[in-house]
Structure 1
Amino acid sequence: MASAHLIDDFYQGVVPALLPFLVLERGYSYAAVAGLVLAANLLSSVAQPAFGWWGDHKPRRWLIPAGMLTAAIGVSLVAFTPEYWMTWLVIAISGIGISAFHPEAARAARVAAGNSNRAMSIFAVGGNLGFAVGSLVATPLLLWTGLGGTPLLVIPAAVMAVAIVLWLRRVLDGPVDAPKPVRHPPGPDNWPGFLRLTAVVVVRSIVFFGSVSFVALYFIHDFQTSEALGGAALTVFLTFGAVGTLFGGWLADRIGRLRSIRMGLAVAIPALLGVVLAPTWPVAIVFVAIFGIAIFVPFAVFVILGQDYLPNRIGIASGVTVGLAVTVGGLFSPLLGWIADQSNLHVTLVILVGLTAVSLGLAFLLREPDSSPRHPRPLGDTTAEAADEGAI
């Protein structure tokens, strides 16, 4: 599932990598390219909890390959969109595909991870790596082909979709007499705690999307670097973010989930400030790496913590923590783009420093959910008993 997550979020990572090329080849403004980040997240933010609710009633694992393919087809069509509204539309379609994938994939990942933060971080890091690889692959490809090369980006999803279908069939057709784990009734849903968690995730998401939207452009315009080096800065951020996700799972298993969330956000504040104050791009890129690690430390912990706040609504919890709360951050990208157009990218990054501090403050309002550990049902178990228990 981590490999499938990598390929799915590869297409989420392609979108910010497209932005400098859309600015330079098509003359889009900062606000216009930020609007494309909005396109990737607007419908997705609403659809992801809906897909999760749908999956809570009956497993729909076909959404895993179908969502992945839809995400790929959307970004591949950018080559054929001469008008801005057409580009906006196909990127929105890609976002819907990503939203269809995540709740069912997170459900399956929790089956494998159980209550281990470290194991869940492996699934989460697949998405982080995918985001980073999306930028790493798309930037040199587009430097070589221009925007006309986007159809080539559909190839990874086509290969992985076939592989994941074969894997799911093997799992679902496995031995029916295999011993099943003992399942305990889940505790009550803690909606107030879940809403506080959602607030933390939303503000952290604004910082994240602001960073992926403008880090490359900040290097290109403020440090006068090449497009390739700007794309490399984005790749550094996302690659070290993957390291931060794995470290966050390990850290949460040792010092606790809430302390790991607060520690990551606390370190992210001076790291991002270091990017803003750096005198040269080599210094800035070091701070970008530190910031990438720190801001991603809470990522996997958010998912498993959200599922424990809502043990009877695993799909909805996954849809919100992986989807709605995260993608809502992308809805603020046009506002950040407008601020950058009216002032400069330096001011925008200073605002992101302040928002990181807000997210840290909200994290101190969180409390551990008071619920029993849950024992997810196997992937092939679709019995009424499992459905009634709200199991994965």
Structure 2
Amino acid sequence: MTTTAQPSGSTRKPSATAVMALGHATVDFYQGAVPALVPFLVAERGYGYTAASGIVLAATLLSSVVQPLFGALTDRRTMPWLIPVSSLCAGVGIALSGLGGSYVLTWLAVALAGIGVAAYHPESARLARTAARGSHVAMGWYSLGGTLGFALAPVVVGPVLTAGGLGATPWLVVPAAAGVLGTVSAIRVLARRAAVGRSAAARSAAPDNWPVFLRLSAVVVCRSVVFVGLSAFIGLYAQERVGGGPATGSAALFTLFAGGAAGTVAGGRLAVRWGRVRTVRLAYAASVPVVAGVVLVPGPALFVFAALAAAVLYVPFSLHVTLGQDFLPSRVGTASGVTLGLAVSVGGVVSPGIGALGEAAGLGVALAPLIGLCALAWWLARGLPEPDTEAYGASTGSARGTTSSV
């Protein structure tokens, strides 16, 4: 990330992309917090695989339904206020999730967090696009913020709940509050710039390519099922394969999420060198053997393959967003809602089925189909064209490779 030169003696301001990445980290922290809660819910409340996967479903089912709706709303008008409001909804939902012993109330609290995450992504991705000024690398940094938020969730949630039990979940609202305070000024500036960019994009945008966007969406769905399936159950799977209690599960989750950080950064840089579509294809081809390693290779090697799997699954993460925005240049909010938000949420819809199969036949059997989904994602990605990016540059109003300060 870069910043523009500041006058001598003045305070150097963070780049707009860095600020948006910070906000993205604090919201996606709550996506990572849900699977991090699962081992503690199993330990303190005796939930089985199906009940635990239902909690993951709570964070994702409503999110999957409302995500395109929020995207369509942001295509009609700039809604910067939605970003802080949705951030607080996510934080409050997770904060309430450990209070009381009712499964229904826990489910509803986690569902509130999921709706907050769903509302956040379309408008945030639009403003991040404005901040990035057409740079794939900058969008990679924005996506990295979300990846780091995911990765930090088990690091924070594990010690907090180990020390205080599920009753300590109210402390988990702190990242949301910090994210709102840290980004509100930048959001105002970017919202004004995005309104100008919307007018320019309307004059210069190419036609929307729905058939190709739907193919990309299918790729996103495959990736989502694979990654959410791994994140929901790798904590419990690691305890089975390696031994140890919830601390082992938290370590496996951190390894999975942290491995994605390198992949997210690499994705933007590889796209500059090889092109986005080629990078996406190669990443999914590599995902087949490494996800197979997570499922099939015994012992502590699971942690190595988890890191590799996260890396290759996150290489295309930010590229999905910019590709979707280029395939639907007049519906950036919708494209962002599907490629960025639904990338995480839709996989949770399948997680109860993985949990039920895990109870019936073991987690190893339940996770094995994820290998085939990686192969399907690679096959679907082979049919994606590299889009014309002139409209992307026009809508952001700047050449690639630059970011701005706020």
TM-score by length of 2: 0.88
How far apart are residue 297 of structure 1 and its match? Answer: 0.8
Match of 1:79, SS state, is: coil
How far apart are the structure 2 equivalents of 1:116 and 1:330?
A: 31
- Map of 1:382 onto structure 2: none
Change (3 A) 1:361 1:80: same
How far apart are residue 149 of structure 1 and its match? Answer: 0.7
Change (3 A) 1:266 1:173: closer
Change (3 A) 1:255 1:171: closer
Kept after mapping to 2: 8 A contact 1:213/1:333: yes
Kept after mapping to 1: 8 A contact 2:133/2:396: no
Out of 253, 260, 284, the residue aligned to residue 241 of structure 1 is: 260
Pick which of 214-223 and 16-25 moved more.
214-223
Matched, 1:215 2:234: yes
- Map of 1:25 onto structure 2: 44
How far apart are residue 47 of structure 1 and its match? Answer: 1.3
Out of 387, 394, 405, the residue aligned to residue 369 of structure 1 is: 387
Change (3 A) 1:182 1:63: closer
Out of 168, 176, 193, the residue aligned to residue 157 of structure 1 is: 176
Match of 1:199, SS state, is: helix
Matched, 1:336 2:336: no
Kept after mapping to 1: 8 A contact 2:127/2:190: no
Match of 1:239, SS state, is: helix
- Map of 2:270 onto structure 1: 251
How far apart are residue 105 of structure 1 and its match? Answer: 0.5
Match of 2:204, SS state, is: coil
Matched, 1:324 2:342: yes
How far apart are residue 56 of structure 1 and its match? Answer: 1.2
Aligned residues: 375
Matched, 1:359 2:368: no
Matched, 1:68 2:101: no
How far apart are the structure 1 equivalents of 2:128 and 2:293?
A: 36
How far apart are the structure 2 equivalents of 1:187 and 1:333?
A: 38
Cα-to-partner distance string for 1:248-292 (whole Å, 9 max, x where unaligned): 1111111011111111111111112122232322x2211111111
How far apart are the structure 2 equivalents of 1:298 and 1:172?
A: 27
How far apart are residue 325 of structure 1 and its match? Answer: 4.7
Out of 13, 21, 24, the residue aligned to residue 5 of structure 1 is: 24
Out of 124, 135, 159, the residue aligned to residue 105 of structure 1 is: 124
How far apart are the structure 2 equivalents of 1:238 and 1:173?
A: 34
Cα-to-partner distance string for 1:67-111 (whole Å, 9 max, x where unaligned): 000000001001223111111111001000011111110000001
Change (3 A) 1:325 1:239: closer
Matched, 1:350 2:368: yes
Out of 292, 295, 310, the residue aligned to residue 273 of structure 1 is: 292
Kept after mapping to 2: 8 A contact 1:48/1:323: yes
TM-score by length of 1: 0.91
Write the letter of the residue equivalent to 2:328. Answer: L
How far apart are residue 225 of structure 1 and its match? Answer: 2.4
- Map of 2:165 onto structure 1: 146
Write the letter of the residue equivalent to 1:193. Answer: V
Structure 2, unpaired ranges of 5+: 1-19, 398-406
Change (3 A) 1:261 1:173: closer
Write the letter of the residue equivalent to 1:146. Answer: G
How far apart are the structure 1 equivalents of 2:376 and 2:67?
A: 25
How far apart are residue 343 of structure 1 and its match? Answer: 0.6
How far apart are residue 171 of structure 1 and its match? Answer: 5.4
Match of 1:332, SS state, is: helix
How far apart are residue 377 of structure 1 and its match? Answer: 5.4
Pick which of 189-198 and 369-378 moved more.
369-378
Structure 1, unpaired ranges of 5+: 379-392
- Equivalences for residues 60-209 of structure 1 within 5 A: 60-169=79-188, 185-209=204-228
Write the letter of the residue equivalent to 1:274. Answer: G
Change (3 A) 1:11 1:372: same
How far apart are residue 159 of structure 1 and its match? Answer: 2.1
Match of 1:373, SS state, is: helix
Write the letter of the residue equivalent to 2:275. Answer: G
Cα-to-partner distance string for 1:344-382 (whole Å, 9 max, x where unaligned): 11112211112111111111121223463332358xxxx
How far apart are the structure 1 equivalents of 2:362 and 2:291?
A: 16
Kept after mapping to 2: 8 A contact 1:115/1:373: no
Write the letter of the residue equivalent to 2:184. Answer: V
Q: Percent identity?
A: 47
Kept after mapping to 2: 8 A contact 1:116/1:253: no
How far apart are the structure 1 equivalents of 2:191 and 2:126?
A: 15
How far apart are the structure 2 equivalents of 1:180 and 1:34?
A: 40
Pick which of 226-235 and 180-189 moved more.
180-189
Matched, 1:227 2:238: no
Match of 1:80, SS state, is: coil
Runs of 4+ in 1 over 4 A off after TM superposition: 170-174, 178-184
Kept after mapping to 2: 8 A contact 1:46/1:324: no
